[in-house]
Structure 1
């Protein structure tokens, strides 16, 4: 087996020759970073997710008078609670 044929633009010296692939790699890295951040935000900030059921068995009760939507339509959550009452 020889050295083989590699893909153009996968090494730093090849990227210097094909400069058009640099923005492609930058945008793919930025997209992967934003997707990772959004997954972390869903796991860490959502009221549906609990990481420790012994100390906080009902995490949705902490959101009784808080806004938990990513984008708000301007609704005031201080009067009526959007959290369901499980009893």
Structure 2
């Protein structure tokens, strides 16, 4: 197929932005999945040393973007078990 090798990509320069945008989108998706796997309080990788990981986030804001709430100034909505 044309545009899949480096030689044919030099002939079809209009495909370069398509490949760049697709690559940036894939990298953004991978970054967000990695962030969810490491920062989300619902995910626990080591239950032996930290049996209740949600307690670390009681007074922290763990949302990716929150324009309204700032959890450092008020009580966290996390339930107390």
Fold-level similarity (TM above 0.5): yes
- Is 1:81 aligned to 2:81, yes or no? no
- Is 1:18 aligned to 2:12, yes or no? yes
Out of 38, 56, 68, which is 2:62 matched to? 68
Q: Which ranges in structure 1 are unaligned for 5 or more consecutive residues?
A: 1-6
Please give the alpha-carbon distance, in whole angstroms, between the structure 2 residues aligned to 1:13 and 1:58: 55
Runs of 4+ in 1 over 3 A off after TM superposition: none
1:81 shift after superposition: 1.9
Q: Output the TM-score relative to the length of structure 1.
A: 0.85
Count of aligned residue pairs for this structure pair: 80
Please give the alpha-carbon distance, in whole angstroms, between the structure 2 residues aligned to 1:24 and 1:76: 38
Q: Which ranges in structure 2 are unaligned for 5 or more consecutive residues?
A: none
- The RMSD of aligned alpha carbons is 1.1
Could you say which structure has the larger radius of gyration? 1
Q: Output the TM-score relative to the length of structure 2.
A: 0.90
